[in-house]
Amino acid sequence: MPSHEAATSGLLRAALDGGADVLELGVPFSDPLADGATVQRASEIALRQGISLAECLAEAATIVRDRDATVLLMGYANPFLRYRGGLNGFASDAAHAGVAGIIVPDLPSEESAEFDAALDPEGLARIDLYAPTTPDERLARLVPRARGFVYCVSLTGVTGARRALGADVAEFVGRVRRHTSLPIAVGFGISAPEHVASLRSVADAVVVGSAALDAVSAAHADRRAEALRAFVSSLAAAGRA
C-alpha cells in the first residue's frame, strides 16, 4: 500500500531488485472483506494518510516509467466505481499510467461486465481469482474467459501469511489448468521459500502480499527497503532453483 513517507517507491524498487516479476499495488479501502489483519492494518494506515486511487496511479506511473515494471492494482470495487470519470475515467487514466491490469477481490465474474466494458478497450486485464471451493462446472464456464493470468487462491479464507499451505493446492491448480493455457499464479498465505519451492512444479507464479508487508514492518525504519529486497530475493531463488 502506498504511503506519504515516500517510502513506497523505494519499496517498489527493492521488490524489483529482489527479483519480483510483477508488482501488485494495493488500493486502500475502508471495508476490505477479503483481507486478514496484515492487509487491513496496511489499508488503515494508508487511509489515515488520505491515500487515494489517483495517488496509487501516480505511484504506478513512476515505477512503470523508471523501471518498465509490470504493475497491477489490487483494490475493491467501490473506489474504482467512484473514481473521477467513473470506470471509463479510471481505465483511461490507468492505461496512461502504464498499469497492466487490476485485481478486484469482491468482483466475481457475474458482476464484472461493466468493469470489462471499460477495461477491454484500454487493453487492461482484469485478473480473475478462483478458489478451492469453485466447482468444476464453474471453472469450465469462467476460466476460458480469463485475461492475463489466472490467480488461484490457495486456501479457503482471507489473506494473511500462513505457516503451511493447503494440502490440496496441486489438485486445485490441476483442475484449473484443464481450462486454460494462460499462466497460473498461486497466492494467499505464501510466506516462505519452502512454500515457493513446493509450488515450482504446480504453478507458473506465486503472489506474495501479507508476508512482504510483514517483512517490511518488522524491519527498522531505514532498513525496510533492504529487508524487502532480501525477502523477495529468497523467494525468487526458491522459485528458480
Partner 1 sequence: MITKTRPGRYGEFGGQYLPETLMPAVAELEAAWLDARADAEFQRELARVLRDWVGRPTPLTDAPRLASAVGLARVLLKREDLAHTGAHKINSAVGQALLAKRMGKRRIVAETGAGQHGVASAYYLLGSAIGPHPYPAMVRDFQTVIGREAREQCLARLGDLPDVVVACVGGGSNAIGIFSAFIDDANVKLVGVEAGGEGIASGKHAASIVGGSVGVLHGSRTLVLQDEQGQIRETHSVSAGLDYPGVGPEHAALGQAGRVRYAARTDREALDAFALLSRTEGIIPALEPAHAIAELSAIARDAAAQNVLVCLSGRGDKDLEIVMREGVIR
Considering the complex, state which of residue 133 and residue 217 has its C-beta at the smaller distance from partner 1.
133
Between residues 35 and 212, which has the closer beta carbon with respect to partner 1?
35
Active site residue 137: no
Contacts of 222 (CB under 8 A, 6+ apart): none
The Cα–Cα gap between 95 and 212 comes to 27
C-alpha dihedral, 158 to 159 to 161 to 165, nearest 10°:
60
Catalytic residue at 59?
A: no
Nearest approach in angstroms of CB 68 to partner 1 is 29
**Set 5, 35, 111, 171: catalytic member:** 35
Q: What type of residue sits at position 237?
A: A
Which position among 5, 17, 21, 24 bears the catalytic label?
24
Let me know how long the chain is: 241
Q: What is the binding site for partner 1 (CB under 8 A)?
A: 28-31, 33-34, 36, 47, 52-53, 76-83, 105-108, 110-111, 128-131, 133-135, 138, 153, 156-158
Q: Kindly provide the residue ranges of all beta strands, DSSP E only, lying in the chain, ordered along the sequence.
A: 23-26, 71-74, 101-103, 125-127, 129-130, 150-153, 184-187, 205-207
Minimum CB separation of residue 75 from partner 1 in Å reads 9
CB of 133 to partner 1, least distance (A): 5
Q: Cα(224)–Cα(216) distance, rounded to whole angstroms?
A: 5
Q: How far is the CB of 110 from partner 1 (least distance, A)?
A: 6
Nearest residue (CB) to partner 1, 19 versus 157: 157
Pick 107 or 211: Cβ nearer partner 1:
107
Query: What distance, in Å, lies between the first and last C-alpha atoms of the chain?
Result: 30
**Distance in Å, CB of 167 to partner 1, minimum:** 15
Q: At what angle do helices 53-67 and 7-17 cross, to 10 degrees?
A: 40
Residues 15, 232: contact at Cβ < 8 Å?
A: yes
Nearer to partner 1, 76 or 231 (CB): 76
Catalytic residue set: 24, 35
